[in-house]
Structure formats: structure tokens, C-alpha cells
Structure 1
Amino acid sequence: GMGASPERGDQFGQSTAFTDIDSDGCSDLVIGAPLEDVPRDGENLIDAGAIRIIHGSPTNFGTGSKVDAYGQAEFDPGSATEAYDRFGFALQGGTASSGEPYLLVGVPGENITIDGTS
């Protein structure tokens, strides 16, 4: 997971989604913190954003619930965590027609390059 810690202004809870992300039959709570500052390679990436996944159990959520934290690069290894991306701005989870769970994460500050143009 990532080494970010909560601080004022993270906007923790800006977005939320319930989905069975780990396919264990229990709903999991995903919480976005799009203004989370994320440490990376000795640098503090301002407003890079993060999500937390609180795994549900047959007895719901509570003490002992497993919590995972992800920055953009941990969640999608093909991408990079960058300052001002605001990863976690919006969340949508569900189950595909194949039965596989999915989680879509909004990243409104992401720079995308298509045919050499960003």
C-alpha cells in the first residue's frame, strides 16, 4: 500500500462507493480522498489523491475490518501517481456481466497524451 497519512484538507469522503471488490460475497466501502498528499521517492506529491477500501464481512464493518490504501500507481500499475491528479475524486463500483467486480476511479487532474498531444 501507500504511505500517505491523513491531514486537514484531504477531502476524505468526497466520494464513496459500495461494491464487493474482493468477490467474497460482502460489500466493501471505498472512500476517496482526492486532495491527499502522497509521498513518493522522497517527494511529497501535493493533491495526488488516494482511496481507502474498508473490507466488509458477514458481520458488516467495524473493529478489525481490513483497510487497504491505494494511490494511483498502486491501484493501476500502468499509471503514475502525480501531484494535482486528484485520484479518488469520483468512484463507481459494480459487477460486470461476467460476474467480475469493477471499480472506476475519477482522476480529473490526470494529464493524458494522445498522438503526442496532452
Structure 2
Amino acid sequence: MMKRKSGFTLMEVCVALAVLSAGVFVFGRYLDGFNRIRTLERAQARAVLEAANAVEYFIQNPPDCRDTSFAFSEALAFTIQVSLETIPGLRQIVWLNASVVTPRVRTDPKAPVFRRLVRCVR
């Protein structure tokens, strides 16, 4: 009788390598997707902070009392759009709307909009 040698056959090694490479590929795709989502979330958080800074700027530096629109561009990732709507009356106030506009989606329903009453200079 022939003695059977201990060890793995060539077919078993090939199957194990195929399973291992498939697992590494799936894990790599998972990490790539995770990094993309993290980058998008950081960009969105930065855009929200810039929109809040735009509102603070107009609070500290009162604008003229007229209906106007401004756009602040931050590199190529997003634009902060600010619009002022005059409120008729004796008090010198305007509605200030600050929103984030991305180049890909012009009217993003999830885009944050800051709306605030601001004193203005006549």
C-alpha cells in the first residue's frame, strides 16, 4: 500500500487563494467607499460652517437695506449663496438667507439654509 503524504493538494491551495483574494478585494472596495463618504461628509460640514460664517459676517457688518444676492465661492467644491429680502416697515431689518450650492446639484433638498433677521443700514 502507498502511504498518503500529509499536506494540501494543488486544487485546495488554488481554492484557498481564490477565496482569500476575493475577500481582500471586497474589503478594499469597502474601505474605498468609506473614504469617499468620509470625504463628502467633511466637505459638507465645511460648507455648513462657511454658510454660518457668512451669516455671522452680515450680523457684524450690517448690509444696505435693499434686496440683493451675493455668492461666495470656496475653491470649486461649493458656493455660499446669500440673499437679502427687505421687510417693509419702520424698522431697518432684512431677511438673510444663506445656503450652500454645489456644482453638481443646484437645488439640493438636503442643503442647509440659514435664515435670520438682520439689521441693516439705510
Name the structure with the higher strand share: 1
TM-score after normalising by structure 2: 0.35
TM-score after normalising by structure 1: 0.36
Higher relative contact order by CA 8 Å / sep ≥ 6: 1 or 2? 1
Question: Which has the larger Rg?
Answer: 2
